[in-house]
Homo-oligomer: A and B are copies of this chain.
Amino acid sequence: MQLESLSTPCLLVDKMRFMNNISRLKSRLSELGVAARPHLKTLKSVEAVKFLLPSFDSPCTVSTLKEAKEFVAAGYRNITYAVGITADKLPTVLELQHQGAHINILIDNAVQAEAILAFCETNHCTLHVLIEIDCDGMRAGIKPSDEQLGKIALKLASRGCFAGVLTHSGGAYLCQSENEIKQFAVQERNAITQAASRIRAMGLPCNTVSVGSTPTAHYGEDWEGVTEVRAGVYVFFDLVMANLGVCELKDIALSVVTRVIGHNAEKNWLIIDAGWMALSKDPGDGNNGYGLVEKANEDIIASAMVNSVNQEHGIIHLPSTELLSSYPIGSILRILPNHACATAAMHESYHVVDQRGEMTNWSRFNGW
């Protein structure tokens, strides 16, 4: 790897790990007989997404309408926008439909349903609406037992706008063991299939029954009744996922390349040119500072982490067994991220290195 040629700080993707991570989840879901709808919020790169989505019709998930616009412009046309929508965002969705894309949108209350029906009435159109189900009490969604569920589904169905149900098991990030994640996947499946059953019992079709989070996608053992599984961060993985046991450190495909710009001999500190602007301020699970430290050759420096960050400075408190002189001014280090989505979001492109050491570049975008 010619890391010396890189301007620092910057993002590096290990392409072999990236491809392996993609294959792993694909195989697992395929064995379990359930479709994947990968989440593109981590990658946000048109060049990268072709390794994840085999065709322009492959299902995918996005977290912003900017992602939807970028991926539709690139040719993809089967997209779920998995954040609760408000009326002001509907014209963009319709515009994307006019461009030939099938966009699923998400709601969890009657006000949103009314707004969508009014919009469809005015614009003589049909939108494809999923109802968000709360499977863990962590964020949005309505409980599968909530009587509102049937009312909203009926209301949407009256104009042909009801497409199914969706849940996100964000609580799985707080699990402490593989077994807990497996249990969480059961809880997630039970919630969503209960919701789907209640809707079907009313005589409505419920075509989409969508679940997802990177932990449950990797440890769920039975997706009976579920039509698709969403996951995003697994393409890169990160320290949160490694500490959760979903991957190993050697699976993490994303790192920040940085240079040593200073030594504090009194304190045995390395100062690096990667601060929160390059690493993000995400503390992960609180165990690894702002990231673990690898040498350019990928050996992890035991007990070293980025202990503090300013905008463009990171400080590594080297353990006393490590000499500052082993890390001369100008030398390259690599920082493994706490949270790959957050770290990637601080950058405008990925440097991608393959097995032969050849380097290419993928652009990425942010914004809404």
The quantity of this chain's copies bound in the complex is 2
Q: Which residues on B sit within 8 Å (CB–CB) of A328?
A: 111
Q: Is A86 an interface residue (CB 8 A)?
A: yes
Contact check, B259 vs A86: say whether CB atoms are below 8 A apart. Answer: yes
Q: Quick check: A311 and B10 within 8 Å, CB to CB?
A: no
Residues of B with C-beta under 8 A to A49:
none
Contact B83 A140 (CB under 8 A): no
In this complex, the member of A87, A170, A367 whose beta carbon has the largest number of chain B beta carbons within 10 angstroms is: A367
Closest to A111 in B: B329
Are B313's CB and A139's CB within 8 A? Answer: yes
Closest residue of chain B to A331 (Cβ to Cβ) is B86
A313 to B271, CA, bound (A): 34
**Residue of A140, A311, A313 with highest tally of chain B CB at under 10 A:** A311
- In the bound complex, how far is the Cα of B66 from the Cα of A347, in angstroms? 13
- Give the segment of A71-79, A96-104, A187-195, A278-286 that binds chain B: A278-286
Per-residue contact bits, chain A 292-336, to B (CB 8 Å; 1 contact, 0 not): 000000000000000000111101000000000000111000000
Across the interface, name the chain B residue whose C-beta is closest to A274.
B368
* Min CB gap A83→B, angstroms: 5
Stretch from A19-27, A158-166, A338-346 forming part of the interface with B: A338-346
A262 to B277, CA, bound (A): 31
Say yes or no: A88 contacts B170, CB within 8 Å: no
Q: How far is the CA of A138 from the CA of B299 in the complex (A)?
A: 28
- Tell me, rounded to whole Å, the shortest Cβ–Cβ distance linking A355 to chain B: 26
Chain A interface residues (CB < 8 Å from chain B): 4, 7-10, 41, 63-64, 83-89, 108-109, 111-112, 115, 139-140, 170, 259-264, 271, 273, 276-278, 280-283, 310-313, 315, 328-330, 341-342, 345-348, 366-368
